[in-house]
């Protein structure tokens, strides 16, 4: 299977996972449980995981999913390629019956996200990047359009987490008096910067690699920077500890 086949497979996996998620969403029987770390888990998380795992299997590329088996670093450190998956990003929004949740599927090559699919099934929005370095957005069955970030001379629009607005984030936002703030759930925050609607997305709270990888790939292809707040270096993936550092997503001039 060539690279175009990988992209088509991942898009199909995201869409089918979205169908499984919406069946649970519309049933009102979410089946909420809590993991050891007290984060919520629903029937939709599990159903989407199973769909994606099955759809990606023909690629013969390893899958590391939030809801799957956690492979030891001694094994995964030798992976040249692997799929990094968050079957349902924005579970808290999902539980609150907000539509701001996504399916995130990324292809990682040697620590770099080279392919990303971000699908918001309740909003009928699909974002992805291709191997030519272009980022795309499609609403429902409309024609896809290429998206670009919009660098401005100063930060005018900031997007932040709806569920995780920390004091550190508020302190950063206060550096830009007069800037408008929008809060939204899931990896859609990345997409607002990728589309040029927002100038930056500061995240000074805990996230895992599967939370960011797919959106990182799309945002990067749109012209964004996704960097460690302290080092200003691009986020890397498949670390021994899968926890991300604090980071900033921004248009290239910010």
Helix, strand or coil, per DSSP, at residue 241: coil
Q: Which CATH fold would you assign to the domain 157-251? A: D-Maltodextrin-Binding Protein; domain 2 (3.40.190)
Compute CA distances 152 → 158, 159, 174, 230, 254, whole Å: 12, 15, 18, 23, 8
The string of pLDDT tens digits covering residues 208-250 is 999 999 999 999 999 999 999 999 999 999 999 999 999 999 9
pLDDT at 1 over 80: no
Strands 33-34 and 40-41: antiparallel
Percent of the chain with pLDDT over 90: 87
The pTM score is 0.96
Q: Please give the helix or strand (H or E) that residue 45 lies within, else none.
A: helix 43-56
Q: Which two tokens stand for residue 24?
A: 């649970």
Contact yes or no for 68/107 (Cβ under 8 A): no
Q: Write down the domain spans for the chain.
A: 3-146, 157-251
The string of pLDDT tens digits covering residues 127-171 is 999 999 999 999 999 999 999 999 888 999 999 987 777 889 999
Please count the CA atoms within 13 angstroms of the CA of 8 that sit on its side-chain side.
6
Compute CA distances 206 → 23, 88, 102, 163, 218, whole Å: 29, 17, 18, 12, 21
Q: Which CATH architecture group holds 3-146?
A: 2-Layer Sandwich (3.30)
């Amino acid at each position: 299977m060539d690279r175009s086949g990988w992209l088509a497979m991942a898009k199909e996996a995201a869409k089918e996972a979205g169908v499984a998620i919406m069946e649970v969403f519309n049933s009102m029987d979410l089946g909420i449980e809590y993991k050891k770390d007290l984060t919520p888990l629903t029937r939709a998380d599990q159903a989407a995981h199973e769909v994606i795992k099955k759809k990606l299997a023909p690629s013969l590329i390893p899958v590391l999913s939030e809801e799957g088996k956690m492979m030891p670093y001694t094994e995964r450190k030798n992976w040249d390629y692997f799929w990094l998956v968050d079957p349902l990003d924005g579970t808290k929004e999902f539980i609150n019956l907000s539509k701001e949740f996504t399916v995130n599927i990324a292809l990682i090559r040697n620590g770099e996200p080279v392919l990303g699919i971000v699908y918001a099934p309740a909003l009928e929005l699909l974002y992805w990047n291709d191997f030519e370095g272009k980022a795309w957005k499609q609403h429902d069955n409309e024609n896809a359009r290429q998206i670009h970030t919009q660098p401005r001379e100063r930060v005018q629009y900031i997007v932040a987490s709806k569920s995780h607005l920390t004091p550190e984030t508020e302190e950063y936002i206060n550096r830009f008096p007069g800037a408008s703030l929008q809060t939204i759930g899931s990896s859609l925050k990345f997409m607002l910067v990728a589309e040029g609607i927002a100038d930056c997305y500061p995240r000074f709270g805990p996230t895992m690699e599967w939370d960011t990888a797919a959106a990182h790939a799309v945002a990067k292809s749109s012209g964004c920077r996704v960097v460690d707040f302290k080092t200003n270096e691009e986020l890397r993936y498949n670390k021994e500890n899968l926890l991300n550092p604090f980071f900033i997503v921004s248009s290239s001039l910010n």
